[in-house]
A and B are shown apart, each in its own frame.
Chain A
Amino acid sequence: MASTPAAPAVAPSLVDTLFQRSLNDLVKSLRADPSAAGEAVAVARALSEIHREIRAPDAATKSVALQKLTYLSSLHFAPVGTHLLAFPAIELLASPHLPHKRLAYLAASLSLHPASLSLLPLATHQLHKDLSPSSAGAAHQQHLSALALQLLASPAAAAAPDLPVHLAHDLVPHLARGSPRAIAAAARVIAASPSAAVPVLFKPLAACLASPDPRASTAAAAAFCDLSAPPADATPFLPLAPDLYNLLTTSRSNWALIKVLKVFARLAPLEPRLAARIVDPVCQLLTRSSAMSLTFECIRTVLTALPAHDAAVRLAIGKAKEFVAADDDPNLRYLGLLALGLLGPAYASTVNDCRDAIVKSLGDADTNIRQEALHLIMGMVNENNIMDIAGMLISHVAKSDPEFANDILGAVLAACGHNVYEMVVDFDWYVSLLADMARTLLCAQGDEIGRQLVDVGLRVRDARPELVRSARTLLIDPALLGNHFLFPVLSAAAWVSGEYVDLTKDPVELVEALLQPRTSLLPISVRAVYIHAVFKVITWCFSVYVGRLGDSGMAVDVMFDRLAADQTVGSESNVALVSGEEQDIGASTVRKDPFSHESILYMINLIQTTVGPLINCNEVEVQERALNLIGFVHLVREIQELNKRNVADGDKPSRLEELVKTMQTVFCQELGPVSVNAQMKVATPDGLILNENLVELAGIVSEDDTTPSTSIFFYPCSRHSADTRDELAVSIDSSSLSEHRKRHGLFYLQTGKTEDEPNDYPQANDSLPSSSNNSVNDDKLKTAELVFAGKKSTATKSRPKVVKLDTEDFLSSMMPSANVPKEDPLSGALRDVLLGSDAKALSSQRASDINLEGMLNKTSSNESSSQQIENLGSHPASRSSSRTSKQQNHDKEKGTNPPESDGKEPRKHRSSGRSGHRQGKHKHREKSSTQPDTIPQAPVIQDFLL
């Protein structure tokens, strides 16, 4: 306090310099009003004062003004123009008065930065003068040069391009003297402009390393440490190794040793012999030194630069473990964990030895320590211990704060999901772990969990029963519906339950869970998934039901009549409201047999009561799914009613059977890829010749190659609609071909329109699947047509509105986004296995075609969908490719929704991968495109898009 400079004693001529406030006054005025507003006012007032004062001709006034300005700009971040501060600072540099000069240097070093470099040349001469020996006393001169060197070492001065050129020679005598400031300044100057400074300064700087003065050698070691730091190349400093080695073995300064060790850590990888030389001294330091900073530097040097010296590494690991075990010092614990984290996988077992201490650190109060511990533990994970570790970590989640809990969950998800679940052996375990993670209190990783649930379902057949079980537990818990972090998980669970409904034990319970009242809390996208899952479940139940009726030979009429009894309610214009009494009966009887007449009836009624109101929902996604579902239910009943009135009895059951079968076909094809590992476990089906050449197929389809499937691309909306229309005008054959192309869009996206598909896929020149489909499934066309004609009446209302609705995200969240990148390893593996290394360009295409062929053969021979699923399990390539292309179709079509496909898009996506259903669908689409009620809507859509 006492030594603060008072206001200048010399009275300047101006009045305001007479009453100039000193820095002390300024600080006091700033502190008088501690509020932010008061401070701002005080700063503004002081600034306006300073602006006047700093132009004063006398140095004293100017220096005080400069001092105040420095204070304001460095501590209060006052908006001071850099010139305002820098210019008077440079003016004052020339002052003969040392305190003024010092203030000026301080202001300059604080204010000069690359933006104000234009002023620096003005100071060059002054710096030169201050650096050169003068007539003044030695002590005075030393102060002056110290100030000048200080400025030279500041970042701004070092960034000035011409300073090194002018002042490098002035530095040399100071370097020769061994001044630490000169050494630091020289290092900065060399770093700033190597070409100009290195010839002059490098040798004297290197000489300082050998200086007997420990200050000089320490400063030189620090300077070379800075200069060799990445991203700079350390190679030019290799010749300094002898001097550095000398310093390493003789210096008694820990500061210097740390810097020397750092330089060696950078040099050792460049020169193998160096490592052998330094390993002994480093180990000696490691064992002898009592300074923790030096010990840690030794550990780090050994672990990063001397990994080949096993004894040294073990010594370092031992020390690091001591650090980790330091209970009283969190710093050492943190650094110990950090050091262990530097170890490569070669020492994983050694790290494993102190697993207990690391696990203990997971509960540390310090986030850094916990993070490092987590990082280390995740580094130890392998497929043998992943169950232990993941279980242990999940148990830690409950004890952690929310942020770290999610870090843990994220780390476990990332580790388990790494490289297509390569570490997970027991998928049942993993699936239940995923469900457990979702249920942990603080879980905010819903997106990733949901993605993995679906992904595992798609990729790993064996996990599906457990997946369905886990999904059930998630779905039936009404408490989870309130947690918005879990919506993606619930969406995935609903999708899984619908997709693998044949593994469900109790479909009635599932339908109840999917339609429970609290589902109204779900966002639109998830609700749509729920309703669609109900659709799949009810379709499957019907198929089992009908199948069973057929098996038992029971009089189908009876059952239909009973169905019809209820149907009167449903076919009325109002929503079906079943009497409470009946529903009670249903609820109690259905438990026994989910496929009994009662349970089917119960489910239909439940659907009508809960989904029925949603057909008036504002959200088109939900509305459309609801309409689909209700349309299906109505259809079942309409057939019945029709039968009752006109048609002969024998037709009745078969029509329902046809309907159910058709719907079943819609959902029968299994989707998505399986993991590479799972593929290995699946045996090749009999009769599938993998190496058969499919070249002859080219002839069958070659004529269609000239019409690329532009309908996949919907970017230019006007063109796209025209294209689609054109395409629809083509014969059934070619439209099914283009369907096929859509499914395999990956292989057709050659024309540069794609954004992210790899270009190495061959041009496809065959499409056996679709052509073979035609003959196989001709008999199904009628049914399909009928179904959709019937359905249309209920389901084609609001579709045009979907145009701009951004519903992609729920689908993309449902469908694993990782599918596309994962194609490559999969197809690559396939390529290698199936075809060897030659014919690489064609192989992936062929592989998928071969698989498709097998798949379609099965389709034609087996009517039952469950058998298809059996076989599909072995065709990951075909499935995955169709899946991804479908996804693409979806994304693109969603965006611009062509008028022709009005109201039918979702079903088209779903069925575009189907074999038997496609053509019926197309017929229908052709029809609907000619219908007067959809065409007029086209202009509306165009507007919307524009």
Chain B
Amino acid sequence: MINFVLLISRQGKVRLTKWYSPYTQKERTKVIRELSGLILTRGPKLCNFVEWRGYKVVYRRYASLYFCMCIDADDNELEVLEIIHHFVEILDRYFGSVCELDLIFNFHKAYYILDEILIAGELQESSKKNVARLIAAQAC
């Protein structure tokens, strides 16, 4: 399962965090510091997986944002990569060509969308249409 989701900007600013396993606030800052050091320094043509403390972090860069998901060692990396892409597509559809600022000023919306896609660290809704419908219904 996915242990946490991080969105980190290229400058190392955190744009969204979601924890599916219990971490204390202290651990969270530590994890983010470690991972941004690990991921932001990686070159463009490297693979999208980083082994980290017995876990794997699957990340993908979209424009200036790194979407990172931490999974267990025996989880399927490619599947998580698809989940990331799925999430980004839905954000894109919702905000209309999403950019970092959208997420900065609408952080709770990003959470709501993420909550529709992932629950308890597992993918819940694989249909983009359904997610869009549910989010739209919430806005009322």
Contact = CB atoms under 8 A, between A and B. Distances in A.
Contact of A115 (B21, B24, B43, B120): B24
B46 A366 contact: yes
B88 interface: no
A106 B121 contact: no
A846 B29 CA distance: 61
B54 interface: no
Contacts of A215: 124-126
Given A70-B108, A293-B78, A187 B22 contact: no
A223 B50 CA distance: 25
Interface stretch (A71-79, A272-280, A875-883): A71-79
B76 A297 contact: yes
A187 B120 contact: yes
A531 interface: no
Contacts of A23: 105, 108
B76 A74 contact: no
A718 interface: no
- Chain B CB within 10 Å, residue with most, of A149, A184, A226, A254: A184
A156 B24 CA distance: 11
Contacts of B20: 154-155
A102 B138 contact: yes
A82 B24 CA distance: 10
B123 interface: yes
B15 interface: yes
B3 to A, nearest CB: 9
Nearest to B101: A1
Interface in B118-139: 119-126, 137-139
A4 B95 CA distance: 12
A313 to B, nearest CB: 18
Nearest to A331: B47
A720 to B, nearest CB: 45
B72 interface: yes
Interface string B44-62: 0111111100000000000
Contact of A3 (B21, B28, B82, B109): B109
A226 B1 CA distance: 7
A793 B25 CA distance: 68
Given A292-B78, A330-B46, A181 B124 contact: yes
A180 interface: yes
Contact of B108 (A67, A139, A253): A67
A330 B43 CA distance: 12
Contacts of B138: 98, 102, 143
B123 A255 contact: yes
A831 B123 CA distance: 61
A843 to B, nearest CB: 44
A24 B49 contact: no
Contact of B105 (A27, A73, A153, A367): A27
B40 interface: no
B77 A335 contact: yes
A297 B78 CA distance: 9
Contacts, number: 157
A74 B15 CA distance: 9
B126 A1 contact: no
A713 interface: no
Interface in A138-184: 139, 143, 149-150, 153-156, 158-159, 180-181, 184
A365 B1 contact: no
A189 B27 CA distance: 24
A366 B39 CA distance: 12
A335 B49 CA distance: 10
A139 B119 contact: no
A530 interface: no
B102 interface: yes
A334 B46 CA distance: 10
A24 B14 contact: no
Contact of A368 (B49, B106, B108, B122): B49
B123 to A, nearest CB: 6
A234 interface: no
Given A4-B106, A365-B43, A75 B125 contact: no
Contacts of B121: 226
Given A113-B22, A113-B23, A253-B126, A106 B111 contact: yes
A296 B21 contact: no
B31 to A, nearest CB: 11
Contacts of A77: 14, 25, 28-29, 32
Contacts of A114: 22
Contacts of A603: none
Interface residues of B, number: 54
Interface in B58-110: 72, 74, 76-79, 81-82, 101-102, 104-109
A1 B47 contact: no
B98 to A, nearest CB: 11
B120 A331 contact: no
B78 A335 contact: yes
A89 to B, nearest CB: 13
A333 B45 CA distance: 12
B125 to A, nearest CB: 7
Given A155-B22, A255-B126, A331 B49 contact: yes
Contact of B112 (A102, A110, A229): A102
A103 interface: yes
Given A3-B109, A27-B104, A75-B17, A365 B45 contact: yes
Contacts of B101: 1
Contacts of B111: 106, 110
B110 to A, nearest CB: 11
Contact of B119 (A3, A80, A153, A297): A153
A297 B80 CA distance: 12
Contacts of B76: 258, 262, 293, 296-297, 300
B106 A1 contact: yes
Contacts of B48: 330-331
A181 B18 CA distance: 17
A151 to B, nearest CB: 10
A431 to B, nearest CB: 35
B74 A262 contact: yes
Nearest to A67: B108
A725 to B, nearest CB: 55
Given A1-B102, A114-B22, A365-B46, A219 B122 contact: yes
A218 interface: yes
B78 A150 contact: no
A645 to B, nearest CB: 76
A188 B105 CA distance: 32
Given A75-B14, A368-B50, A184 B124 contact: yes
B120 A188 contact: yes
A8 to B, nearest CB: 16
Contacts of B18: 110
A3 B46 contact: no
Contacts of A54: none
A71 to B, nearest CB: 6
A324 interface: no
B24 A153 contact: no
Contacts of B74: 229-230, 262, 300
Nearest to B29: A77
A75 B51 contact: no
A367 B52 CA distance: 13
A109 B120 CA distance: 11
15 contacts: A1-B101, A1-B105, A4-B106, A71-B108, A75-B17, A80-B25, A110-B18, A149-B119, A180-B125, A293-B77, A297-B79, A300-B76, A330-B46, A330-B48, A331-B47
Given A184-B124, A225-B1, 19 more contacts: A1-B101, A74-B16, A74-B107, A102-B112, A110-B18, A143-B137, A155-B20, A184-B122, A223-B122, A226-B1, A226-B122, A258-B76, A296-B77, A297-B76, A300-B74, A330-B48, A335-B78, A366-B46, A368-B49
Closest 3 CB pairs of A and B: A293-B78, A330-B47, A222-B122
Interface of B: 1, 14-25, 28-29, 32, 43, 45-51, 72, 74, 76-79, 81-82, 101-102, 104-109, 111-112, 115, 119-126, 137-139
